[in-house]
Amino acid sequence: MMVFIKKIFLFLLPLLFIWVALECFYRTVESNYSYKHKMISNSYNDIETLVLGDSHAFFGINPEFMDTKTFNVSNISQSLYFDQLLFDKHVDSLPNLKNVVITIGYYSLSQLENTKEDRWRKYFYHHQMELDVPIINPLDVRKYSLALTRRFDKSITLLHDYMYKGTIVGCDNWGWGTYYKSTNNIPLVEGSRATAKRHEDFLMDFDENLVRLQSIIAYCKKIKCNVYLVDMPVYNEYLKLLNPSKLEKITNSCKDLASHYKNVTYINLREDIRIEDTDFYDPDHLNHKGAKKYTKIINQIISDPKNEG
């Protein structure tokens, strides 16, 4: 019996070592989540504009080109569920907040909570951004161990990136994503088909996410803060492959919010006439050039005197 136990122990020992090593890595190495949490917490008294949203905001809205002190707390695949949690956590610590910018993409209003996009990210919001995340089961062991949240190969890739680059943070001091410099070398037309297919969830029920938006908007109204719902530019061929009925419903939903709440402005840049192919990294993300261009356009709208106060 003792021989059997010894063999089991020797078998488990390397696994235990790997688990401890990965846990230390995730707990000590700064990520986009922990870095943004640190930077927003250190900038509470300076922030006048808060940017929420998914990768379209993360890569597409650069605080450097805003007139107001802006922090971009968006992240890759960040749903309105997490936008609301982040807003609720930080808003009362932002005494000079004047504007909240929220990007609305093709799937933003229909996205369900706790889908595959949240499968591992929810634990990082909990651990590294200090959010209370209700969709995490208290009995889920991953709530207590980041090393168990991701596939082993993904963790090894991340570890390799850290060893090669010295960091896994992919944003600047004000939260803007710095990965997408030019293009991803996949032709925009070809990439459009794959991207449109990946983004189609076949859902048309916006109720839960509209409630989340209304909660943010209502609180902003209470503190005399403006809200800007921004439909970011996308490549035309990608747009053609999306469900026109859903696009119309998205537009109408945002327009309804803007007409119902005086502190809401809907900025629809989806088919903006100033869009150029060279603005894009891929069919639905702006590159550095596009981010600079469209941040300036958004800033111009926000800075309009009629939107003050």
Please name the residue ranges forming H helices in 73-180: 80-90, 121-128, 152-165
Say if residues 113 and 81 touch (Cβ distance below 8 Å). yes
pTM of the model: 0.94
Say if residues 43 and 163 touch (Cβ distance below 8 Å). no
Helix (H, G, I), strand (E, B) or coil at 173: coil
CATH number for the domain formed by residue range(s) 2-307: 3.40.50.1110
For residue 180, what pLDDT is reported? 81
For residue 75, what pLDDT is reported? 98
CA separation for the pair 251, 286 (Å, rounded): 21
For residue 309, what pLDDT is reported? 52
Say if residues 96 and 125 touch (Cβ distance below 8 Å). no
> Which residues of the chain, if any, have pLDDT below 50?
none
